[in-house]
Structure 1
Amino acid sequence: MAASRDRDRPPPETCHDRRAHRPAMAVRRCLYLALVLACAAVPLALLGRALGAGGWTVAEGLIWALALVVSPWIATLGASALVGFAVLMAGRDPLAVVWPEARLDPDRPIGIRTAILLCIRNEDTRAVLARLRPLLSALEAQGVGERFALFVLSDTRDPAHAAEEEAAFAAFRATLPRPERVAYRRRESNEGFKAGNVMEFVRARSAGFEAMITLDADSVMTADAVLRLVRLIEQNPRVALIQTLIAAQPTAAAFPRLFQFGMRHGMRAYAAGIAWWQGADGPYWGHNAIIRIAPFRDHAALPALRDGTPILSHDQVEAALLRGAGWEVRLDPLEQGSYEANPPSLLEFMRRDLRWMAGNLQYLALLRLPLFSWMGRIQLALAILLFLWSPVVVAIVLAALANALDQDPRAAVAPGAGLGATALFALLFFAPKLLGALEVALKPALRRRWGGGATLAAGVAAEFLFYLLLVPLSALNQTVGMAGLALGRRIGWAPQTREDRRVPLADAARALWWHTLAGVGLLAGFALAGTTAFLWALPFLAGAALAIPYCVLTADPAFGRRLAAARLAAIPEELDPASPFPPLLSAPARAA
Structure 2
Amino acid sequence: MDVVDAPRPTPAAPEMRAIVSREPATPDENRLVMPVQSFRSWKASDRRQPAQPHNWRTPWLQRLFVFGGGLALTAFGAWEMYHVVSVSRTTSLQYVLLALFTINFSWIALAFTSAILGFFGVLFGVGRAERAETLQHRTVVVMPIYNESSARTFAAVAAIRESVEATGLGDHFDYFIVSDTTNPDIWISEERAFLALRERLGPESRVYYRHRPKNHHRKAGNIADFVTRWGGHYEHMIVLDADSLMTGSCIVRLAAAMEADPDAGIIQSLPLIINRNTFFARLQQFAARVYGPVIATGLAMWSGRDGNYWGHNAIIRTRAFAEHCGLPDLKGKPPFGGHVLSHDFVEAALIRRAGWSVYMLPDLTGSYEESPPSLIDISVRDRRWCQGNLQHARIIGAKGFVLPTRQHFATGIMGYLASPFWLMQLVVGILIVLQVNYARPEYFTQEFTLFPVWPRFDPERALRLFAITMAILLAPKLFGLLLTLFNNRLRRAGGGAIRLVLSSLLEVLFSAFFAPIMMLIQSGSVFQILLGRDTGWNPQRRDDGSIPLNDIIRRHRTHTVLGVVTGLSAFMIATSLFAWMSPTIVGLVLAIPLSWASGQLAIGLWLKRRGLLLTPEEGEPPAVALRANELQTEFAKAGFDDADGLKAIHADAELRHAHELMLPDAQPRRRGEIDPERAVAQAKLVDAETIEDAAIWLKPKERMVVLHDRALIGLLSTLPSERAESAA
Work out which of the residue numbers 565, 578, 583 in structure 1 matches 2:609.
565
Work out which of the residue numbers 180, 187, 201 in structure 2 matches 1:176.
201
Amino acid at match of 1:112: H
Show the counterpart of 1:76. Answer: 110
Q: Secondary structure at the match of 2:358?
A: strand
In 1, the alpha carbon distance for the partners of 2:543 and 2:197 equals: 21
In 1, the alpha carbon distance for the partners of 2:490 and 2:612 equals: 17
Q: Deviations over 1:139-173 (max 9, x none)?
A: 22222121101110111112222112211221122
Equivalence map 1:226-245=2 (5 Å): 226-245=251-270
Show the counterpart of 1:85. Answer: 119
For the pair 1:249 / 2:274, whether they are aligned, the reply is yes
Work out which of the residue numbers 485, 489, 501 in structure 1 matches 2:529.
485
Q: Cα offset for 1:420?
A: 2.3
Q: Deviations over 1:344-377 (max 9, x none)?
A: 1111011111110011000011122214222211
Work out which of the residue numbers 302, 311, 330 in structure 2 matches 1:286.
311
Amino acid at match of 2:616: P
Is this contact kept in 1: 2:491–2:616, CA < 8 A? Answer: no
Change over 3 Å in CA distance of 1:173–1:420 after alignment to 2: farther
Change over 3 Å in CA distance of 1:547–1:178 after alignment to 2: farther
Amino acid at match of 2:244: S
TM-score, scaled to structure 1: 0.91
In 2, the alpha carbon distance for the partners of 1:45 and 1:112 equals: 57
Q: Cα offset for 1:540?
A: 2.8
Tell me which moved more, 457-466 or 305-314.
305-314
Amino acid at match of 1:441: L
For the pair 1:436 / 2:480, whether they are aligned, the reply is yes
In 2, the alpha carbon distance for the partners of 1:473 and 1:503 equals: 17
Amino acid at match of 1:246: P
Q: Cα offset for 1:446?
A: 3.0
Show the counterpart of 1:590. Answer: none
Tell me which moved more, 408-417 or 333-342.
408-417
Amino acid at match of 1:490: D
Q: Cα offset for 1:312?
A: 1.0
Tell me which moved more, 497-506 or 139-148.
497-506
Is this contact kept in 2: 1:305–1:311, CA < 8 A? Answer: yes
Show the counterpart of 2:149. Answer: 124
Is this contact kept in 1: 2:276–2:373, CA < 8 A? Answer: no
Q: Cα offset for 1:499?
A: 2.1
Q: Deviations over 1:440-497 (max 9, x none)?
A: 1233343223221101011101111111112111111111111111222111221111
For the pair 1:221 / 2:230, whether they are aligned, the reply is no
Amino acid at match of 1:12: P
Q: Secondary structure at the match of 2:233?
A: coil
Q: Secondary structure at the match of 2:105?
A: helix
Bigger CA radius of gyration? 2
Q: Deviations over 1:234-271 (max 9, x none)?
A: 10110100111111013221110012211222221111
Is this contact kept in 2: 1:270–1:432, CA < 8 A? Answer: yes
Work out which of the residue numbers 274, 279, 292 in structure 1 matches 2:299.
274
Q: Cα offset for 1:58?
A: 2.2
Show the counterpart of 1:52. Answer: 86
Tell me which moved more, 436-445 or 245-254.
436-445
For the pair 1:319 / 2:322, whether they are aligned, the reply is no
Amino acid at match of 1:78: F
Work out which of the residue numbers 553, 568, 571 in structure 1 matches 2:597.
553
Q: Secondary structure at the match of 2:232?
A: coil
- The runs of 4+ residues in structure 1 deviating greater than 6 Å are 5-9
Show the counterpart of 1:358. Answer: 387
For the pair 1:349 / 2:378, whether they are aligned, the reply is yes
In 2, the alpha carbon distance for the partners of 1:16 and 1:215 equals: 31
Change over 3 Å in CA distance of 1:386–1:577 after alignment to 2: closer
Q: Cα offset for 1:181?
A: 0.5
Show the counterpart of 1:95. Answer: 127
Is this contact kept in 2: 1:190–1:197, CA < 8 A? Answer: yes
In 2, the alpha carbon distance for the partners of 1:344 and 1:15 equals: 45
Q: Cα offset for 1:413?
A: 2.3
Q: Cα offset for 1:31?
A: 2.5
Q: Secondary structure at the match of 2:625?
A: coil
Work out which of the residue numbers 558, 561, 574 in structure 2 matches 1:530.
574
Change over 3 Å in CA distance of 1:236–1:578 after alignment to 2: closer
Work out which of the residue numbers 27, 30, 33 in structure 1 matches 2:61.
27
Change over 3 Å in CA distance of 1:142–1:259 after alignment to 2: closer
Is this contact kept in 2: 1:259–1:467, CA < 8 A? Answer: no
Show the counterpart of 1:99. Answer: none
Show the counterpart of 1:385. Answer: 414
In 1, the alpha carbon distance for the partners of 2:44 and 2:394 equals: 30
Change over 3 Å in CA distance of 1:267–1:15 after alignment to 2: closer
In 2, the alpha carbon distance for the partners of 1:157 and 1:547 equals: 34
| Paired residues, number | 568
Q: Cα offset for 1:51?
A: 1.8
Tell me which moved more, 271-280 or 532-541.
532-541
For the pair 1:539 / 2:583, whether they are aligned, the reply is yes
Q: Secondary structure at the match of 1:53?
A: coil
Show the counterpart of 2:454. Answer: 410
Show the counterpart of 1:260. Answer: 285
Q: Deviations over 1:28-77 (max 9, x none)?
A: 32232221112222222222222222432222111101122233222211
Change over 3 Å in CA distance of 1:45–1:578 after alignment to 2: same
Q: Cα offset for 1:217?
A: 0.6
5+ long unaligned stretches in structure 2: 1-42, 442-452, 630-728
In 2, the alpha carbon distance for the partners of 1:430 and 1:78 equals: 9
Amino acid at match of 1:390: S
Is this contact kept in 2: 1:63–1:400, CA < 8 A? Answer: yes
Show the counterpart of 2:397. Answer: 368
Change over 3 Å in CA distance of 1:188–1:28 after alignment to 2: same
Q: Secondary structure at the match of 2:326?
A: coil
Change over 3 Å in CA distance of 1:451–1:194 after alignment to 2: same
Q: Deviations over 1:380-421 (max 9, x none)?
A: 111111111111110000000011122357333222222222
In 1, the alpha carbon distance for the partners of 2:88 and 2:526 equals: 35
For the pair 1:144 / 2:144, whether they are aligned, the reply is no
Is this contact kept in 2: 1:401–1:525, CA < 8 A? Answer: no
Show the counterpart of 1:474. Answer: 518
Change over 3 Å in CA distance of 1:107–1:496 after alignment to 2: closer
Equivalence map 1:102-117=2 (5 Å): 106-117=131-142
Show the counterpart of 1:101. Answer: none
In 1, the alpha carbon distance for the partners of 2:369 and 2:282 equals: 12
Q: Cα offset for 1:577?
A: 5.6
TM-score, scaled to structure 2: 0.75
Amino acid at match of 2:90: W
Show the counterpart of 1:461. Answer: 505
Q: Secondary structure at the match of 1:406?
A: helix
Show the counterpart of 1:12. Answer: 50
In 2, the alpha carbon distance for the partners of 1:143 and 1:461 equals: 44
In 1, the alpha carbon distance for the partners of 2:327 and 2:106 equals: 29
In 1, the alpha carbon distance for the partners of 2:604 and 2:489 equals: 27
Q: Cα offset for 1:313?
A: 0.7
Task: Write 1 or 2 for the structure with the bigger share of helix.
Answer: 1
Is this contact kept in 1: 2:132–2:253, CA < 8 A? Answer: no
Q: Deviations over 1:523-556 (max 9, x none)?
A: 2222122121111111233222211000111222
Amino acid at match of 1:95: G
Q: Secondary structure at the match of 1:207?
A: helix
In 2, the alpha carbon distance for the partners of 1:197 and 1:582 equals: 29
Q: Cα offset for 1:7?
A: 14
Change over 3 Å in CA distance of 1:210–1:10 after alignment to 2: farther
5+ long unaligned stretches in structure 1: 97-103, 586-592
Q: Deviations over 1:296-332 (max 9, x none)?
A: 1011112321115111111111101111111100111
For the pair 1:419 / 2:463, whether they are aligned, the reply is yes
Work out which of the residue numbers 5, 30, 37 in structure 1 matches 2:71.
37
Amino acid at match of 1:417: R
